[in-house]
Every structure is written in structure tokens, then in C-alpha cells.
Amino acid sequence: MTAVTVTSLFLSCFEAMRRGELIHRRSRRDKEFHFQDWVGDRLDQTGFGWEETKRNKYPDYVVTDHLEGYEVKGLEDPGRQADFDCNSQLATGVHDGRSIYYVFGRYPKRPEGDEFPVLDLVVCHGDFLNAHHDYEHKNDSFRDFGSYGDILVRDRKMYVAPTPYALADGLVGNCTLIAPENEELDELDALQSVGRLVRTDADRIAAKYTFDFDDNTLRTELVENPTAGTARSFVAYRAAGDPAGAVVMKPARRTPRKYSTG
């Protein structure tokens, strides 16, 4: 596949960080959208047309002339940085036929004023977080709960995915682009490769879960992963001439929850 806009966005972010372009917080209540606005300004600078989706829609930015989109995730420092909430859509690299890149940026948690810097940034293809594209997110509900049997229970799923900071070393303090190895990037001569990253599909994955109201326990069922053992290769890039060091994978994380097996 050819990615038309991502290199331009990445370089726009890199140059803005180098110029010292600050995040502008509209008010002290603006805890989420200030970094998203900063990324929107960078998209403006690329010259590509784009649309901002409504709140709680996915992705945050849709490129109008190309099948590409961007989901923005701001991370406070110090703060939670190893994973992030996906409130309405499982993290993935393809959505509605569009290639999806995530833009992660870290910034100070308690700045002195309403303007503060981007400490580091990662533009990351969604497949680096999850490469399965066929799952369709749906919420459901049922009514029959409570003493009178008329209380509605909503099954509203939230997903928690690892950030690139949890998966690879060499990202802190730098500006990095992570793309699939087979992705053809525009303006490739403006980039330099600083690492090859490989993620391997798990042998078994969760396919079903049930919740017991009597003892408040959640039970999951694992099945054989049809893509088990598949090695997915990605390339970490930096802007040409950026002296920052290499990017390497961290040891694979293990999930501590005890699953039931089907």
C-alpha cells in the first residue's frame, strides 16, 4: 500500500517541535482536545484536505482526498503512558477502508500556564497495535435485571491497548514514525530508518466472555488464533539528519489475567 499523507504530517510535527510550537490549552477544563488541536494545525500545514469528526467518532481526522485517517492520543508526563483507552473502537490499522495512523504525543502534566511543549511524539500505524481488521464493534443491552426484572444492563465495551512507548525503546524525547515494512511512503528520501520492529501474533486469543452477577466474576474463553505465529514487520523512521538513536522492541508483554480455555 502507498501512504500519501503520513510522511508530510510526520515531518510537519517534527518541524513544529523543532521550532518550539507550543500546545495551546483553551481553558483549564480542556484536558483532552488541546493536543488534538495541535495535530490539526500540523495537518493544515501539509496542504492536504481533511475533516474533523464529531466527538466520540473514529478516527479524529479524516483525509478527504485519500483513504487515510488519524486518531490522536495525548499522554501526560508524568502519568499513564503504557496503555490507552479505546472508548468506542478497537485499535487497528484499517477502518471503513481507510488506513489509520495514531498520533501519540507526551506533554507536561502540570504546566505553569496554558501553553506548553510537546515532549516527544510517535506517528504509528494502527496495525502496530492490533493487525486484525475483521472485528466489528457493537454494544448491546438486555432488560430483565433487578428485583422487578425491568432494569436495563448495557454491555458497553471499552478496549485498552498498549502505546508504542510500552512496546519499543528509543521513543522518549524523540519524534518517530512507525510504518508497516511493506508500506510505500511518499517523500521517503526525507526519512531515515532507525529500526526494524517485529510483532508476532499470539497462539490463542479471547473469543468470548461471560459475567456472573452472583459472584461478580468475568470469564473469558480462548480459541486458536487463525493467524498464530504471523510475524508482522514495521520500520521506525526519523527525519533525515535527526541524530536520535535507534528504536528497538521491548520484551513481549504477558497478560496477567487467568483465562479459561475453550
Range of lowest pLDDT (9-13, 53-57, 157-161, 248-252): 53-57
Over residues 184-195, mean pLDDT: 96
As a 3-state breakdown, the chain gives helix, strand, coil percent values, each rounded to 5, of: 15, 40, 45
DSSP string, 197-221: EEEE--SEEEEEEEEETTTTEEEEE
- Taking each continuous run of H as one helix and of E as one strand, the counts in the chain are 3, 22
- For position 140, what pLDDT does the model report? 92
How far is residue 178's CA from residue 167's CA, in Å, rounded to a whole number? 12
Q: What is the pLDDT of residues 226-244, one digit of tens each?
A: 999 999 999 999 999 999 9
Over residues 163-179, mean pLDDT: 98
Over residues 119-147, mean pLDDT: 94
Model confidence band, residue 185 (pLDDT cutoffs 50, 70, 90):
very high
Specify whether the CB–CB gap between 119 and 106 falls below 8 A.
Answer: yes
Which one, of 13, 2, 1, lies nearest residue 186 by Cα? 2
Model confidence band, residue 82 (pLDDT cutoffs 50, 70, 90):
very high
CB count in 10 Å sphere of residue 190: 16
- For position 258, what pLDDT does the model report? 46
Query: At residue 39, what are phi and psi to the nearest 5 degrees?
Result: -65, -40
Helices (H), the chain: 6-19, 33-46, 164-167
Q: What is the pLDDT of residues 47-58, one digit of tens each?
A: 999 998 877 688
Q: What single letter denotes the amino acid at residue 106?
A: R
How far is residue 207's CA from residue 187's CA, in Å, rounded to a whole number? 41
Statement: residue 42 has pLDDT above 50: yes
- Those residues with Cβ within 8 angstroms of residue 19's Cβ, 6 or more apart along the chain or in another chain: none
Q: The pTM is what?
A: 0.92
Statement: residue 262 has pLDDT above 50: no
Over residues 26-30, mean pLDDT: 65
How high is the mean pLDDT of the chain? 91
Statement: residue 160 has pLDDT above 60: yes
With vertex at residue 146, the alpha carbon angle to CA 145 and CA 149, rounded to the nearest 5 degrees, is 60
Q: What is the pLDDT of residues 206-222, one digit of tens each?
A: 999 999 999 999 999 99
- For position 52, what pLDDT does the model report? 86
Specify whether the CB–CB gap between 152 and 231 falls below 8 A.
Answer: no
How far is residue 253's CA from residue 198's CA, in Å, rounded to a whole number? 14
Model confidence band, residue 113 (pLDDT cutoffs 50, 70, 90):
confident
Q: Name the grid cell of 18.
A: 523543532
- For position 212, what pLDDT does the model report? 92
